[in-house]
Amino acid sequence: MGFFKVDSPFYEFLRRFVDVVKLNFLWVIFSLPIITMGAASLAVYSVTLKMSEDNEGYVGRDFIKAFKANLKQGILLGLITLGAAYVVYLNFSLFFAIESNPLPLLIVGIFAGVYFLLSLLYAYPLTARYKNSLRNNLNNSFRISTKYIGRTLFLILIIAFIIFVCLYNSTTIFFGILIGPTFIMFTISSFSLQIFKKIEKDQ
């Protein structure tokens, strides 16, 4: 019965899966006011960074503690994220709404989308792990994204693949709802942690 031992790979997988489900449920509940979505996301990153180091404690307790500690910065970062997404959405909406489909508008939309993505990709794990201003974290996220462009592109491809799988059919959509957002944040945390440790070692 070694398959079910507490130190078996199956048990470890099951434990991780349950933790991710718990985190995803907490993320959904604490994001319901919408304005707190950024703080809830920071709380998830705080826990998943610890999970990536096999250093987590009680998932629920750690989440709530991180949510309270990062509430103000999280709300602001969440509003910045929503604002950036709306700017890109508005730009592409205008591009398709105008009959002539002006190319400059498309180019601006693409560049804005890439800039916001690179500025926000590591901003959440940076804010969850280090004490710094949001402005510095956004700038550092962009710098890390461009300096480690290979890893960043690979991470983006993995995220796109996860989203594709989650939306593939009704069964995968169910699992996407159950664990999707937190699984993506866990993936970003794992990649980010490797880069952060490399930077810390170099410094």
From residue 30, give the alpha-carbon distance in Å to each of 36, 55, 105: 7, 23, 36
Residue ranges of domains in the chain: 2-202
Residues 133-160: tens digit of each pLDDT: 999 999 999 999 999 999 999 999 999 9
DSSP the chain: -GGGSTTSHHHHHHHHHHHHHHHHHHHHHHHTTSTTHHHHHHHHHHHHHHHHTT----HHHHHHHHHHHTHHHHHHHHHHHHHHHHHHHHHHHHHHHSTT--HHHHHHHHHHHHHHHHHHHTHHHHHHHS---HHHHHHHHHHHHHHTHHHHHHHHHHHHHHHHHHTSSHHHHHHHHHHHHHHHHHHHHHHHHHHHHHHHHH-
CA nearest 124: which of 168, 182, 180?
A: 182
pTM of structure: 0.88
The whole-number pLDDT of residue 46 equals: 93
In this predicted structure, the answer to whether residue 2 has a pLDDT above a threshold of 90 is no
Residues 105-117: tens digit of each pLDDT: 788 888 989 999 9
Q: Which of these ranges, 25-39, 56-70, 96-110, 150-164, has the smallest mean pLDDT?
A: 96-110
Give the model's confidence band at 176: pLDDT under 50 very low, under 70 low, under 90 confident, else very high: confident
Residues 25, 131: Cα–Cα separation, whole Å: 27
In this predicted structure, the answer to whether residue 21 has a pLDDT above a threshold of 80 is yes
